[in-house]
Chain A
Amino acid sequence: MFRETLIGAWSLLVGMKVTLSHVLRAPVTSQYPRERIEMSKAYRNVIRLIEIDEIGSHDCIDCQACVRVCPSDCIKVEGERPDGMRKKRATLFEVEFALCSECGLCLDVCPTDTLGYSREYDQAGFRRDDFLYDLLDEWRDKEADVRTRLREDEAKKAAAKAAAASKAAAAKKAKEEATAAAGDTGDVAVEGEV
C-alpha cells in the first residue's frame, strides 16, 4: 500500500515534469480573426472559373460534364453558340455553395480545365442567397471583347485552313496536270477547261 502510494506520487511528478517542459514552448494557437492563416496550396473551396492563357478568359464551353457529375446537384450551367463561332460559351454558371460538399469531382471531369478553387475561406452569410455564386461575374464585362477576339481567331484559323485547303487542292491539281501531261494526251482539253 505504501509502495503504491509512493509509485503513484512519483508518476504524478513525472507527469508534471512533462508539463513543465512545455510551459516555455511558444503558443501554437493562432488568434484567428485577428490573424489570417495561410491556406494550403491544394485548399478546396467554392469553385471558380480560371483564366486560360490562349483565350484570355475562362473557357467554359457549356458541356454540362460538371453538372452531370455533381453529387449534390449544386451547379447550373447554361450556354449559347455565338454567331460565327464553332464552340459554345457559357452564359450562366451558378453554384449553390450551401449544397456543395467540396469533393472536387467537377474539376476532374472538366474537359477544358477551366475550373479551379477559390482562395477565400471565411465565407459566412445570413441568407441562403449569400451562397449562390455566379462564377461568370468576374468575366462578364470582358466577354464581348473575348468573343470578338475568339471570332477573329476562328475566322483567321478558318481562313488559314481554307488557304491551306485551296493550296493543297492546287497542289493536287498541279500534280494531276503533271500526270496528265506525262500521259501526253488531253493537254488541250485541260487548258480549255482552265
Chain B
Amino acid sequence: MMRPKSTMELVPGDDETYYLNMGPQHPSTHGVLRLRLHLEGERILGAEPVIGYGHRAHEKMAENRDYLQFLPNTSRIDYLSGMIYNLGYCQAIEKAMQIEVPERAEYIRVICAELNRLTSHLLWLGTYLLDLGGFTPFLYAFDDREKLLDILDSVTGSRLTYSYGRFGGVSMDVDDTFLRAAADYCTYFRKRIDEYHALVTHNIIFRHRTKGVGVMGPQLALDYGVSGPCLRAAGVARDLRKDEPYGIYDRFAFDIVTAEGGDCFARHMVRMGEMEQSLNIIEQAVGGIPDGPVLAAKVPKRIRPPAGEHYFAVESARGHFGMYLRSDGTDVPVRLKLRTPSFVHVATMPVVLPGTMLADTVAILGSIDIVIPEIDR
C-alpha cells in the first residue's frame, strides 16, 4: 500500500516554503472543502484535505428513524446523482427483504438512473470547464442539463432531490410523453456530444491544461479503492453495472468506457464516453419498457429487514456507492454505513497533488468530480 509522504512539516529556518489554505470557500472546490497546501513558490510539496464542513450526519440519522423515513436523505447525500442513490437504497432494502419489483418499475428505474447520470456528468463538464476558464461550454452544458431536469421533473416532481423510489417500485408511473421526451433527448444529445468534442476535447488549451496533469495510475487507484470514471480513466475496466449487474442492467448492451493515462484528460474522455453509453441504455430501455404496475403489490407494511448484515452497491455517477446495513430485525437499522466514492477520491489528493503546480490543483480537483456532502455524509 502506498502511503503519502509526509511533506506537511515546515522546516525551521526555511523561508521558501509556506502554507496556503485553499477553501473552505473557494469557487473551485464546489462546496466547502479545504485543502491545506504546502507550497514552494507555485509548486505543491504536500496537500492535506480537511473535510467535515458539510457534515450532516446522514449515517447517524439512519439510526434514528425507520427505513422509509430515511428515503429522502438518500437523494441528499450526493445531490447530483440523487436518483441513483435513491433507487439504490430502495434496491438494497428490497434485496434484504426479498421484495419482487415489477418489470415496468425496473425499466423506469434504469431510464431515470441513466438520465440522472447524464445530468451529473453534464454538470461536471460545465463546472470543470468553468474552473479551467472556459465560460461557453458551461452555459451549453447547463442548457442541456436543464432540459434533462425538466424531463425528470415531469415524472418525479423535483429537480434534484427526487425521492422517487419506493420499496417495491417507484412512486409514480411514467407516461408516453416522458418516454418520448427521453428518446428525443437521446437523439438530440448525440449531436451535442459531437459539438462538445469539437468545442472542448479538441481545444488545444484544454488539452495542454489536462494532458499528463494529475496522473492517478491504475496501481494507485486500486490501492486507494478509487472507483467509477476515475478508475476507468486509469485503464481498469470496472463497472458495477457489468461486474455485478443489479436491477436489470444485464439486459442492456453497453460498453465499459476506459481510457489510458489516468490524467485529467483521460477522466474527461471517460465521462464523455459514458454519456454516450447512457444514451444507449436509455434508448434500449425506452424501446423495451413493458406495461404493468409500477409498485409491487406485496410490500410488507412494516419494513423490517431480517436480522443480520446486508450489503448492496450501485454504480453512481462518481463510482461505487455501497450501503452496508446491519439490522436487528426491528423498524430501525442498527447501523447504515454508506461507502461513498468522493470520500475515497479526495483521499488520494495527498498523493496526486504533490509535484504539481498550484494552478493545476483546480484542474485536478475538478476532474475527480467530488461532491462535498458525499464526502462528509
Count of chain B residues with Cβ under 8 Å from any Cβ of A? Answer: 32
What are 18 A-B residue pairs whose CB atoms fall within 8 Å in the complex? A8-B204, A9-B204, A12-B203, A12-B205, A15-B198, A18-B199, A19-B136, A28-B143, A42-B153, A42-B156, A71-B65, A71-B73, A101-B161, A102-B161, A102-B163, A104-B157, A105-B69, A105-B163
Question: Is A165 located at the chain interface by the 8 A CB criterion?
Answer: no
Residues of B contacting A70 in the complex (Cβ-Cβ under 8 angstroms): 69
Using CB atoms and an 8 Å cutoff, list the residues of chain A in contact with chain B. Answer: 4, 7-9, 11-12, 14-15, 17-19, 22, 28, 40-44, 69-71, 101-105, 108, 117
Residues of A contacting B195 in the complex (Cβ-Cβ under 8 angstroms): 18
Question: Is B23 located at the chain interface by the 8 A CB criterion?
Answer: no
Partner of A71, one of B69, B156, B199, B203: B69
A46 → chain B closest CB, angstroms: 13
A118 → chain B closest CB, angstroms: 12
Given contacts A11-B203, A43-B157, contact A17 B198 (CB under 8 A): yes
Known: A28-B146, A69-B69. 4 other contacts (CB 8 A): A15-B198, A103-B72, A108-B166, A117-B157
Q: How many A-B residue contacts, CB cutoff 8 Å?
A: 73
Using CB atoms and an 8 Å cutoff, list the residues of chain B in contact with chain A. Answer: 65, 68-73, 136, 140, 143, 146, 150, 153-158, 161, 163, 166, 171-172, 195, 198-200, 202-205, 207
Partner of B202, one of A4, A15, A104: A15
Contact B202 A41 (CB under 8 A): no
Complex Cα–Cα for A43 and B158 (A):
6
Complex Cα–Cα for A105 and B68 (A):
8
Question: Which 5 residue pairs across A and B have the least CB separation, nearest first?
Answer: A8-B204, A42-B157, A103-B72, A44-B157, A71-B69
Complex Cα–Cα for A46 and B23 (A):
35
Complex Cα–Cα for A4 and B211 (A):
15
B77 → chain A closest CB, angstroms: 13
Residues of B contacting A8 in the complex (Cβ-Cβ under 8 angstroms): 204-205
- Of the candidates A14, A42, A44, the one having the most CB atoms from chain B within 10 angstroms of its own CB is A42
User: DSSP majority for the B interface?
Assistant: helix
| Nearest neighbor of A100 in chain B, beta-carbon distance | B72
A37 → chain B closest CB, angstroms: 10
Contact A103 B199 (CB under 8 A): no
| Nearest neighbor of A71 in chain B, beta-carbon distance | B69
Complex Cα–Cα for A53 and B154 (A):
26
| Nearest neighbor of A28 in chain B, beta-carbon distance | B143
Complex Cα–Cα for A113 and B133 (A):
51
A108 → chain B closest CB, angstroms: 7
| Nearest neighbor of A43 in chain B, beta-carbon distance | B157
Given contacts A11-B204, A42-B153, contact A102 B171 (CB under 8 A): no
Residues of A contacting B204 in the complex (Cβ-Cβ under 8 angstroms): 4, 7-9, 11-12
Complex Cα–Cα for A15 and B129 (A):
14
Contact B198 A14 (CB under 8 A): yes
Contact B198 A40 (CB under 8 A): no
Complex Cα–Cα for A18 and B207 (A):
18
B18 → chain A closest CB, angstroms: 35
Residues of A contacting B157 in the complex (Cβ-Cβ under 8 angstroms): 40, 42-44, 104, 117
Contact A40 B153 (CB under 8 A): yes
Contact A40 B71 (CB under 8 A): no
B157 → chain A closest CB, angstroms: 4
| Nearest neighbor of B70 in chain A, beta-carbon distance | A71
Complex Cα–Cα for A183 and B69 (A):
67
Given contacts A12-B204, A40-B153, contact A18 B146 (CB under 8 A): no
Residues of B contacting A40 in the complex (Cβ-Cβ under 8 angstroms): 150, 153-154, 157
Complex Cα–Cα for A184 and B195 (A):
100
Contact A101 B136 (CB under 8 A): no
Partner of A42, one of B65, B154, B166: B154
A192 → chain B closest CB, angstroms: 57
Complex Cα–Cα for A148 and B172 (A):
36
A179 → chain B closest CB, angstroms: 46
Complex Cα–Cα for A104 and B172 (A):
11
Contact A11 B154 (CB under 8 A): no
Contact B172 A15 (CB under 8 A): no
Residues of B contacting A108 in the complex (Cβ-Cβ under 8 angstroms): 166, 171
Complex Cα–Cα for A101 and B70 (A):
12
Partner of A15, one of B68, B146, B203: B203
Complex Cα–Cα for A117 and B157 (A):
10
B185 → chain A closest CB, angstroms: 15
A14 → chain B closest CB, angstroms: 5
B136 → chain A closest CB, angstroms: 6
| Nearest neighbor of B140 in chain A, beta-carbon distance | A22
Complex Cα–Cα for A7 and B71 (A):
51
